[in-house]
Chain A
């Protein structure tokens, strides 16, 4: 079979698998989020945790629970890393330094999984599995919980209650993430991913040398790292490492896992608002953007567009694995940066200017196609609110979405959401570029060096976690600045989303009239896609012009 046919087949099979999952998984998640009965095991957990599972929370209480849980998580993870030398399975590693421990704690709690450390020589097994991997589960669940609250804002009327955070969190972990991760972890082991508690040990090589292997609970972390759109690798090489991603089948499976929840959530949304067509419209926008991005990255990589190194080697294989090749690497790169995953099976820093630039642009879109678990859906719903508002301005009537009026208060929250992340990205990048030492941390010079810094802040503020890794980020400054970017980039938007949820829930829905903008037709799909591309394009164009665009035209 030739390359092109195999490449297309690979993409087709992935889309087919996602399409087959859309309805069952989306419906299942809707049931989890709306069921009135608790499982016996959940009741036990609520009792142990000391939370009231019957309380229906106001948006403020919901938010305070999210923030309390996340704050405690950051402190716990920080302490865990600082004390790892006193714990079991530390492999003899020293405590993680304070700035790096803060950065890593913020990173995993915010579902970012930016890594300024190299896993195999920094973190003991216990920190990896009982610290980092736990956040892979719960940070993914927090995202889904928050979008559930937003959807309830649309579906409920004349109430100030948006759900119970503890119940949402627990159910998503217990009924969705743990069972799925368990099954896929075993499948990954069957293909060659490692799963043991060995420390670093030497084995012989064929010519009589020695090689040091590191074992660890890798497959269990790999499964949830993709499924929860986290992305933090057990090893430094992340999903390019053969022990994390051994062959072509594990590779397509990992891409499927990192997309599946976020691509199925529109179904959950449609089900909960009682109109599946609303879900399909959102899905269509996500699908369009994803497909365009996959196409652009693949073409740029296949033809080594504007890359001297690619032309000189006869192919863009720097930073790519032979078993994946260009097609499977481009597919992974597009999917990981359009979700908040940030796992990599190839290194984006060595991608062509167009391919690498697209990965940055994908994150700048706010990771909404399909985005992180939960965060992707609330991100695109905020943009849908903006799109409806823009359309309302054009025809001169008060905009409404799903029967809820979008007045001044609602638009304030939506606008703040849209402004928060770009502000963090551009201020952070600007600050780094104005400091001599931070500029010097770039491995590459000129526009590509600038792209590395822009990528770092875009990745952190959008909670992606992938990197143009040719930049020395394990410094006090970068660990602190990027740690703060991740925290603000995660929780500021969440505040605005939950505030919007509260304000929507309070309204009595207005009846649909002839003047209501239909939000389930192709017209709206086009409008929303246009709003997304224009809003993001205008926000980031100057920064992109200095980096990837300048490099591509070079």
Chain B
């Protein structure tokens, strides 16, 4: 009953499971991506003993469940339906610097166990902590893990299992990039978004265009030109700047703001940013649909941040600044179409 259309049903939040052995890095991943924890702070994380649920409210509500490595889900007494019913995707986190025989066999057991009752689950294997491996060793490890899983499943009669593999680390952008890809697998309208982004890129001369969830730095879609990790990093770092500056300068000025701000009425309805002339490139960011949410971030302060979808485009067009009016018009049309495809609940 997991038809794509159902994913958007009001009380049906697509669920993403994070599974793997103890200390493989699940809680670290979920904290770094969804709570903006600094990577090195994860050293202080203690082993998880209960299921932890994170919600991600961007254009659609995701749930990410961090399942402790110590529970035996294959125990027949275990209420599997409460966990696996309604799951869209499962991420299996595998510690690349540890012996991976056990996690590999646990994963294949799990897949075989679940395949009959829940055939629609998509699996992703995060070969994690690859920052600690040299490049050669990393490639070998990834190849070997993949081969073993494929062989094991083949021997058990499962051919072409729906598994995608990623090398990840919380110390660089790879974890965000991998998460983006997994999320995109849960977005039924992905082809529509990609087509829209292709059109905007063509009209406004963007080399690369993304639709980002600003808060998590996960991108929901991009145009269909080849993926470029460096372009992603650039956009992700721009988002960091915007989020940080919006935090430190977005404070409530109360009375004073209203007095000094005659132009409130004509102020842009949403945030927008522009980085010009980076060796001939321009970066353009436009917030799609602003809704201020109260969110718990950084040192326990309660703040208002803008937690939503943004368009980011990279352009190499020399007259980009001059043609910005045209870009703005295109963005308006893009936004209107997008909101039609994606009615907010």
**Is the A/B pair a real complex?**
no
